[in-house]
Amino acid sequence: MTIVELAKSTDSCFIEAEDSQTISRIWFKSKPIDRNFCYRVVQLQLLTDSCDQGYTQADTLNPGSWSWFEVVILPDENSDIPRNKDGKELVWRSHGNRSDSQDVARSPSRFFGKVFDRREEILDSLEVGNVIAVRACVRYPGWINDARNGCLSAKLLSEDIFSPMSWTLGSVLAPNIPDQFENGVFTLVSRTGAHIQASNSEVASFIWFTTPVLDKFIADKIQDVQLFTVAHRQETVSDNVEDKWSWFDLAILDNPEATAPRMKNGRSLVWQSHNVSTNPDNTKLEQGGKLFTSQNDIIKLLEPGNVIGVRVCAQFEKWEMHAHSGRLVVRVSNKGPRRPPSPSTNDWSSIRQEKNDMHKKIKDYLAGRNEGEHSTASIESDLLGKELRADLKYGAGERPLKLLSFDGGGVRGDPHARPCEYFDMMAGTSTGGLIAIMLGRLRMTVDQCIEAYESLASKIFAESIQHQVYDMANTGARYSASALESAIKEIVKKYTGDEDALMRDTSENPCKVFVAAVRADDISNHVATHLRTYTNPNVEKSFADYKIWEAARATSAAPTYFPRIKLGDYEYVDGGLGFNNPVLLLMGEARLYYGFAREFGFLLTFGTGMSPDVSLPPEGKNIFENIKETAGVMEATWEISSDSEQANQIAAMLVKSGHYYRFNVGERIAEKQWVEKVNPNIFEEWFGKHAREVDHFTPEDWANVTINLDDYKAMGTFVQLTEEYMKGEIPRLTECATKLPPKRSE
């Protein structure tokens, strides 16, 4: 047993109260505590050289001791706010600051605070990585806390005081089991509770407790393990969100001090035990996790020196878990060794590397959008960075996927009769989103889609100039939202029988479809939202229960063309504003839904025509700005094909050669460089100027072959340009066509 100096002050601390409110300040704190400290500390005490104001009128007005010190548990070394457990701050009073009630000289004394031991909650509440801090406090006018020096000391045992680091009371080694018994069963328990709260889409986790170190004897004879916990999640769960984002994992660790699971062949050796779906009203209900037997990899992959750890997890903002107690039941056979693990048929290291490459390239692409003026974000893309788990197959061994992507800004045809029968997943933004809904959710043929789009365009873009100016002045948009909604509802009713049909597709083996919209709540960020026809189990919200016409409105709410639409808590604008080419979103979504090990067999993407590079002017914010900016925005909003082609180039690098095809009509203008002889004008001649040669240079660029969103009458001309473009693409079209069959159902 040893006494250690856990923390010591380096400066004095002086605070004075001004009213009846308590004033407190963190004076000094320890370094983050480690596992050994948590398992071996038995006592804790604070010492201070300090004083209050001495006997004054303040004692008469507010009798008592209103200058004192507290011992506080902080979550980490970067925080000054106490940890919260079950709604209570982890703060304990050590001692007051009054030594002599008759002292008027304000002379300091040496104070030895309360000795906190294992009967106190403070030591049971400590977790690895926490920080223990000393807080000086004062209350009521006239009271002060004059802290000169302080020291926090702890008494530690030379060995762990608690299981689970011992199999039995007497030994850290598993005892021999008498021959007459077939099994030995050990119950290993947590020594403290645990709390975790997620702040974003990243998984927040830490190791709660572990088994003792597994020697070769015990590692070879474990037959099954099962976790039981008493825990609850946060009080409420948002509507349309599955109750599964706080859970327990079992993990194989290299040793008891490890904070992360062992890696093998590119995968983290973790297996989910069970979700925590109980609310705070059921704090005494024990939940049993999955029984892992000797046939599970978690048992087969154990090696001497490893430990099995219990990991507490939460994901997505506001999800949290309070774990009160846990017990891990381990059954050890008294017979021969278990069967060795089967060799893996997948190169998980390569799959992990491909996943990380895709995550980095998409992350870099989003970070570099709009030259730093705005950030672009995608929760689905962020989720590509999560670990590969040993308990998931990620689509390994299943047939390669067929994916279809439509850029925003126009309508193009696909030569196949009914694309939804061939493609596993399709996505689109803006009018590309409308096309994806028509071909995928409404199961149209290409001819039906073209007919429906032409009909829709003629109805919504037929307003007179006077009406457009009126709408622009009042809503900031040139065209009526009701006209667009009515036109979409008419199409939806024709193909589903219900104009208010939901995006969620309940038919047998449907093509998965999502359209991208951009949240408009923060003009400095472009946050992509995937409005789906299915539930993606790997994201918090799938947005599949909005009506088809609502999703169509959201993805096509092009600034200055149509007003925003509010769905739930947020307003949405056209997905093309931040993600005109959704191919990278599609690839990320497919990886999350189908699995990182499932190959892309065929990825087809359609652009909407190349255009010269231009920049977008800002959108107007009032009636005068709306009218003034209309001309510029109408010309520029859709001329963002440079970003579309950048996304195309990144996607092409992430798909194996021969599996990626993009068609985007365009007419390239070659780079030009020439010298022109320029004669002086009459005024220049007066001042003696002579003829001079001027160098000219125009870089390689694309001719403007795009059409405005509302210029549906020009689609005939665009079709002719497309047909001319496709004549030069016959070899690629032929190659592409051979990769599309068979249908998904065949």
> What's residue 690's pLDDT?
73
Of the candidates 242, 316, 231, 309, the residue with the CA atom closest to the CA atom of residue 271:
309
> What's residue 165's pLDDT?
66
Question: How far from 665 is each of 16, 658, 703, 722, 730, CA to CA, in Å?
Answer: 74, 20, 11, 6, 13
> What's residue 636's pLDDT?
38
Domains assigned to the chain: 2-156 (2.60.120.260), 183-333 (2.60.120), 400-517+531-667+705-739 (3.40.1090.10), 672-702 (no CATH)
Global pTM reads 0.73
676: CB partners within 8 A, 6+ apart: 693, 694, 696
Task: State the residue for tokens 């036109």.
Answer: 487
101: CB partners within 8 A, 6+ apart: 55, 59
Q: Say if CB 325 and CB 193 are below 8 A apart.
A: yes
What is the Cα–Cα distance from 671 to 669, expressed in whole angstroms?
7
Question: How far from 259 is each of 196, 254, 276, 517, CA to CA, in Å?
Answer: 15, 9, 22, 39
Quickly count: other Cβ atoms within 10 Å of residue 545's Cβ: 15
Cα separation of the two ends of the chain: 72
565: CB partners within 8 A, 6+ apart: 481, 550, 553, 554, 557, 571, 572
Q: Per the structure block, which two tokens stand in for 535?
A: 């539930």
Amino acid identity of residue 448, one-letter, is: Q
> What's residue 103's pLDDT?
67
Strand partners, 652: none
H or E, element range at 467: helix 465-475
Exposure string over 438-463, b if 16+ CB within 10 A, otherwise e: bbbbbbbbbebbbebbeebbeebbeb
Bridge pairing between strands 222-233 and 292-293? antiparallel
> What's residue 9's pLDDT?
96
Q: Say if CB 599 and CB 401 are below 8 A apart.
A: yes
Q: Say if CB 533 and CB 440 are below 8 A apart.
A: yes
What is the Cα–Cα distance from 575 to 712, expressed in whole angstroms?
20
Strand partners, 132: 73
> What's residue 90's pLDDT?
94
Residue 280 carries which DSSP code?
G
> What's residue 729's pLDDT?
83
What is the Cα–Cα distance from 327 to 191, expressed in whole angstroms?
10
> What's residue 595's pLDDT?
94
Amino acid identity of residue 189, one-letter, is: V
Question: How far from 248 is each of 315, 320, 322, 331, 680, CA to CA, in Å?
Answer: 12, 12, 11, 20, 82
> What's residue 725's pLDDT?
73
Q: Say if CB 563 and CB 477 are below 8 A apart.
A: yes
**Mean pLDDT in consecutive groups of 10 residues from the start of the chain, 746 residues:** 94 94 96 90 95 79 86 94 88 87 76 90 88 96 93 90 67 74 86 87 93 88 93 85 93 92 95 88 83 92 94 94 92 72 80 92 78 68 90 90 78 60 93 93 92 85 51 56 89 96 94 91 70 94 94 82 84 76 94 94 82 41 42 41 76 92 66 61 65 61 50 63 77 84 76
What is the Cα–Cα distance from 348 to 395, expressed in whole angstroms?
12
